[in-house]
Structure 1
Amino acid sequence: MLLTDQPVLDPRVYRDGMARYAGHVQIVTTRLAGVLRGVTVTAACSVSDAPPTVLVCLNGSNRNNDIFEQSRVFALNSLAAHHQPLAAAFAGMGGVPSQERFGLGAWRELVTGAPVLEDAAISFDCELMEVKRMSTHFVMFGAVKAMHFGPTAPSLIYLDRGFRAL
């Protein structure tokens, strides 16, 4: 199927196309006044190495995500294949309450106080530099203040609406 010259692309068709786009699964976390928040994402990447900067896209229509902008810190935790149950929980699958999700893993703090997953492949501890709102989502740009290297293991990716190991 070839889609060109469409005045408006159907969001359902777009989502079907994005399902074929493999993404590395990560959990972005923050903490503010004793409240923890974590969300499974695939829309995150490096922006620059000078200075070290990453970006993360989050659903702006979920008011629970406002805490990321309020806290001004976040950690981007890249998951390994064995983290699939953790990724599912932080994606809201299985009905695990938000605060209880953190009990499914071992967490630590680095510089910013955002929760860092002890056995993540790599975690980037960030201070929020800027937020850009775009349609239904917002993009957070983070200055990397510290990193934590976990054990080497196959990566967890999301493709065709399911988790896969790479």
Structure 2
Amino acid sequence: MSTVSKNEFRDAMSSVCAAVNIITTSGDSGRGGFTATAMCSVSDEPPSLLVCMNRNSAQSALFFENGRFCVNVLAGDQASLSGHFAGGMQDMEERYAAADWTDLETGCPVLKDALVSFDCELSEVHEAGSHNILIGKVVGIVRSENNSALAYFDRQYLNPAMALSQE
């Protein structure tokens, strides 16, 4: 059986449209955050979702030690914020200074203008290839009145609501 190269796989995955999320944590071990498109629901009983995080990330231990995270689904006008949390800017205070934040039950940072935010307690971690799969039990949800989502497709940000309004 033939194998698929890393570059072939990445090129193919660029054809998959995904929501853009900022995953945050805060607790005794400190505050962290990163941008991710690998997020989805797992179950509605109990309400839970998963996020994939590179195992080599300097923040991995921080997320495990805090035992909680928040998935902030970005609105259509938040592409620049995604860039702040994508890893180019290493200073966490600078990342957080780019937006307004609050917190919910877990104390994790919740983006005030996010499309929707899911406050989670870390319930399981699984290893898969180069990543850890974080499974979180959802303990709180905040939805905004904004109905414009930020999507990532073909290695660029898109605002589907803008495309629909131009038709």
Contact 2:43 2:49 in 1 (8 A): yes
The code of the aligned residue for 1:69 comes to F
Question: 2:138 is matched with which residue?
Answer: 144
RMSD: 1.3
Correspondence list, 1:11-160, <5 A: 11-33=6-28, 35-93=30-88, 95=89, 97-160=91-154
Contact 1:120 1:151 in 2 (8 A): no
> What is the count of residue pairs matched by the alignment?
160
In structure 1, C-alpha distance between the alignment counterparts of 2:100 and 2:16, rounded to whole Å: 30
Q: Deviations over 1:50-83 (max 9, x none)?
A: 1100100011111222211110000000001111
In structure 1, C-alpha distance between the alignment counterparts of 2:59 and 2:101, rounded to whole Å: 21
TM-score (norm 1): 0.92
| Residue identity (%) | 36
Unpaired runs of at least 5, structure 1: none
In structure 2, C-alpha distance between the alignment counterparts of 1:126 and 1:9, rounded to whole Å: 34
In structure 2, C-alpha distance between the alignment counterparts of 1:41 and 1:29, rounded to whole Å: 11
TM-score (norm 2): 0.91
In structure 2, C-alpha distance between the alignment counterparts of 1:42 and 1:34, rounded to whole Å: 25
Deviation at 1:96, TM superposition (A): 6.0
In structure 2, C-alpha distance between the alignment counterparts of 1:99 and 1:135, rounded to whole Å: 30
